[in-house]
Structure 1
Amino acid sequence: MQIRDTTASSPPLIRRRVKHIIWLLLAVSLLILVLGTLQAQLMSGVRAYVRGEGLWAKAQKDSVLLLYRYLENPSDYLFEGFERALQINLNDRIARLALQKKNPNYADARQGFLAGGNHPDDIDNMIYLFVWFQNIKHMKNAIAIWTAADAEIDQLRSLAYRIREAHFHASNADLSRFKQELEQLDLRLNKLEIDFSSELSEGARWLKRTLLLVNLSMLMTMLLLVWFISRRVLAEIDDAESKLRDSETRFKTLYDSNIIGILIWRENGEIYDANDQFLDILGYTRAELQQGLLNWRDLTPAEFQSSDDHALQQIAEQGYCLPFEKEFFHKTGRRTPVCVGGALLHGEQDRGLAFMVDRTSEKKMEAQIQLSATVLEASRDGILICNQQRNIITTNASYRKMTGFTNTELVGTKACFYRTSDQDEAQKIESKLQQRHYWQDDTEIPLANGNLLPVRASIATVTGDDGQFSHYVAVFSDISARRDLEENLKNMAHFDHLTGLANRILFSDRLCTAISRAHRHKTQCALLFIDLDKFKPVNDQYGHAIGDELLKQVALRLSSSSRESDTVGRLGGDEFVMIVEDLNDPDYATQIAEKIAHQLQQPFTVNEQPITVGCSIGIAVYPIDGKDDVELIRAADIAMYAAKGKPDTHYYLYSGQQKN
């Protein structure tokens, strides 16, 4: 019996779970680090935009202030200062437009932000924040404000160029008329700067909250996952400990229960310990075991040593061996068949544990089964065994030969124990099987070719030790030869050997039956006595062989003139009879007689010899001419002789004679 440690896979599984926890903790730490870095980068980008907005706003205010001064005292120096101040706003616009392209131009954007006065270390964060979050609400609003502000910058530049153009046309021109328009532009730009700063601030707060929630969610998810796996690991550890305790308890129970033999062995044959069942199987005492008198190699017959070596090789390779059969010497010297399986003890190289099951009873049962199978196959009778539902389980060769079916065609199909169309008879058979658990009689069973085989069937039920019915056993003996013999004897007893017609015995029986039926149904039946004319000269002239052949042909013509319900018979010599049933009118019998007379008047050809004979027919009708068979035969005989005495007719009706 193979030993398997049900907890063997638990420690590796637990180690894997612990490794999973460690990796998860590392993953949590890494994720927090990544999220923190991402948060720092994003917040740095937001701060960079806030600083950039300050540079943009300062440049815009400087440009407006210089334009105010230009209105009061126009000079090229002031106008060039205006344009220099406005370059920061224009370069930021270049960066924005480069990032808003379908395929962002990062080089132009970088150059624009640098030219806009932004710190080089902040530019990457500004680009990433713009690209990743440009469709997010706050960033999207801020970009819209930025775009509107750039449009106002265009208005400012346009106003500056108009002022300058006015100065060029008239150096003493009054430029104060542009002051109000400049103030309006300044107010709008100040408002857009404030809106841009507010949107950035709100976006920064939203981003901070979002990142905080993401961090907390991820952290909680990871912690829950760690908690769940830790809980499973702890549960598996508890389960492993419980299984280990259960395994130890089961082994101790099995060891002490003496259900199977258990021993601790070494490869050199030493037996360290064994339970009582092992000792009982081999007939030794515990004192003999403790004295070291038992060696499993010495107890093994020589022909099983190769099996032991193969098992030891399996144990060395995989730690256990598959169960195998062998024998041990009993203390009395006899051999004990056993089934053995073993495995190495944990951490040992040449010491292990083995289980042993005594197979003495099984071997005896196998021998009995083999003997039963031999008897089953050797029987000349057909035998089949069925379950409770009468599904065939097995058959012997004689049954298969008898029926022509193969074993594959039979197994699993419904068995046919008997064949009858009489429901009452079937119920009687089933009743005997249920009450007496046995039934025997002649019946028929189907063959593979569709025919039926007459058999002597013996059906018995089989019960187990608990007295419960479990199987059917059916034995069939072929009685076809006996049936044929009985049929031949029956034919010899009831039928004429020459013509095959009913003989005198069967004729008498059929006549009585016809009279009884006519009496019961209140109908009539007729008896026709037929005597051949000129038959004796045929015998004298051509011999008895020709005469016998003529009688056969006469029998054929008589049979062809009768109905299936009628009976045609030969009483002997050239005397024939016919029983006609279900008559409603005696005249019908005369019509049949006329038909017979006409048929027999036709020439016969026997061995190429044309022969002509005639007949005389006497007719008697029940119940007119007789009340029983004796009276009816007497009346028909008298009528037949009357027909012979009349040359003008070939038949005579007895009741007609009475009338006359």
Structure 2
Amino acid sequence: MIERDPHGLPRSQGGFLDASLSVGGHNLGQTLLELRAILENATIGIMFTRNRVVSRANPLCASMWGYEPDELIGLPSAALHPSDEAFAELGREAMPVLAAGRTYRTERPMMRKDGSLFFCRISAKAVDPRYPRQGTIWIMEDVSEDRLIQDALDKSARELAGIFETSPIGITVVRNARVVRCNRRFEQLLGLPPGAAMGLSVERLFARGDEAAALISNTYDELLAQGYQRGEFLLLRSDGSEFWANCSGHVLDPADPAVGTVWLVEDISRQKAAEAQLKRALEQQETIFDNAAVGIMLTHNRTIVRANRRLEEIFGYGPDDLMGRLASVLHPSEEAFGRVRERALGAIRQGETFIIEIPGQCKDGRHIWLRVTGRRTDQERSSLDVIWIFEDITERHLAERALVQARDELEQRVTERTAELATANAQLQGEIFERMQTEQRIWHLAHHDALTGLPNRALLHDRLGQALAQAERKGRRAAVLFLDLDRFKSINDSLGHAVGDELLKQVAQRLGGAVRSVDTVSRLGGDEFVVVLNDMICVDDVVLVAEKIIAALGPPVRVDAHDLRVTPSIGISIYPDDGSDAMQLMKNADTAMYHAKSLGRNNFQFFTASMNDEAIRFFNLENRLRAALDQGELVLHYQPLVDLRQRAVVGMEALVRWNDPEQGMIAPGEFIPVAEETGLILPLGEWVLREAMRQNRVWQEQGYPLLPISVNLSPRQFRQRGLVETIRAILAETGQPARLLELEITEGALMQEVGETLSKLEELAAMGVRLTIDDFGTGYSSLSYLKRFPVHKLKVDQSFTRDLCEDREDAAIAAAIIGLAHSLELDILAEGVETAEQLSMLMGYGCHKFQGYYFSRPLAPSQTDTLFHPSSILEGATDWGLVASP
């Protein structure tokens, strides 16, 4: 018997093969020595298996698995795999390939002796495909590090792709002046459908075609020279409209510019419009300043920094002659200027308006008389900046002197003229005082809300700017509270604008009492108020003020025998955390206010970045929903209402769905809240009513039995004026009797404005429309009102049905609602039934009408037979011991 080494190769007693051993003229010993050298020194693992057992392996292969070479020989192949299932899977894949004489290749995890895993690249081939027992040769390579690198590259690529596609800024890659790649935002900016921008010429993007080529050439020269380029360009959308864009470009590879460039494109049309508006406002102010009928001068610590043309004309100076001079140049002497300045400083420093009549000196030395009005421009600054208004009253003063002179010359007539002159003097003083009052009244009207007397938008922005400047100087915080009165519109619409105006006045008073005197309460219009909090040390101070405002508005407001309750939704933004300028803080506070409304009203919410994203999503969904209404993308599905005593379908509930061309079928839970918030619920609800009645008429024409259709009315839809007339018109239009329409109204909607609700319900009931209280038991209704309302049916809410079998409290509530319905002789139906156990318990409580997935999901009108005959459930009704009622 031949002795073999650990690799399974034969050796002589001395450890070396006999060099003289030869077969067929070949030196077999030499060949085996060479093969052993190859096996032991190979840089990859080599293994031979026979009958699923390791028969040979080189040292690298044993090291790869953490074994000594002798340990690996005779080891079952399955021990090298993570599990028996992994080994079996390899066998199923490899056997057909090996049996066909081909090479089997794969990459898979393997298990070392210590139980750790590593990735291995494997190549295998049968020694002799005709004789499988001759075994298999396996070539192994540890690729764990390559695998980790590849996984990291894949993850990085996914993250970059995610950033690319979700970026709010348009991104495009340009090569040879054509778009080779872009994200969806870039296409949206250009008004292009997905994929339409690929291959588009860059020249096509510019609104000014004749300038595009030169602009591109200059831009690319700068881009190649610097590696990047930024600029603002007028771009063209696909619909022909233009917009300003801020474009930033970078060379992908400075060493090889031909690879292309990447551009970031941001729509700055609003910013451009705002800049243009600001420029126009400044030009208007300049026009007013330059063409005013009085002289106007601005001084900074006694130095003239600006003067209008009228002031230069009054004192006889040329254009800009007064710039940089001391204000004393307009006075007869330094002493005269000192006396006036001493009198003015006290009033001006206290923020008061200083008015005086004094002599002035013109450039040519002439003296004139002036009426001078001065007021400080900024109370917070340490420097003294004052705006002065000069009126030339020389003629009037001369007239007064002439009167005095005439009095001296005609002293004998003084007695008889005294009364007349006193009257004239009183009238003159009255005119002066009236002019002063008029000026102050004009300023007040220009900066305050006419209804509440609060600062208006213009004064608000001025105060907010001052608050931000103060906060920056002191290193403190400032806060903007955007406040909207919940359901104010319904009060205004139902009780009239006079009541609404008085309510706003009292709300304004309460808001003023809830903040400090240094803070600002402003009314923007309607029921929107803004509160600016100055000099806040920490956010907790803002919370206290918000809570104080909610408490102040909590008690009812008495207006014309009405006790009105108004609650606020408050959005809060903090300087500098949420923005560094007034416009950004106002916008963010407004966004936070809408978030507060969505969380149930009568609360306050601080701004977060996610709200901005949510606001954008809400806005996009609103626009898409409007388009869906116009383009007929809404559809109705119908769910049968089953009576097991009759073993029949006794009605249908119409449920709206949105068949979006891009996202497919969208459930109402996603778009109905948007419709409620934006008012789209009114046209949407009217469409649902009309479409449900139209479909019922189609079924009747097809020979199906007459069944009532249930339609949900939202609270806002129920409160709208003209609801009864709209329903009557739809029934007449579709030719449907009122008894085939069943309106489902939530418990909460019924309890608002109970008197008006009862009147509207009685009108609908008189028409023959059936009324159902939906989601009964989830609100706060009064049984005394329930008894008065002309309702026909109660529905056990699915929130009670869902946990009926596990929650004793839900079971007790469901039993109580069913018992209450029987006591009041009202029809009762349980919704959300999904299991036989729920059905059994509800029937035990005395309920026999049901709705839910146990019987049928909501189905399209095309599935009519299933809707009218859910046979698999109804035929099994006998399992519950029921028989059909006659």
Verify same fold: TM over 0.5.
no
Which structure's residues are more often strand, by fraction? Answer: 2
**What is the TM-score with the length of structure 2 in the denominator?**
0.24
Higher RCO (C-alpha under 8 Å, 6+ residues apart): 1
**Structure with the greater alpha carbon radius of gyration:** 1
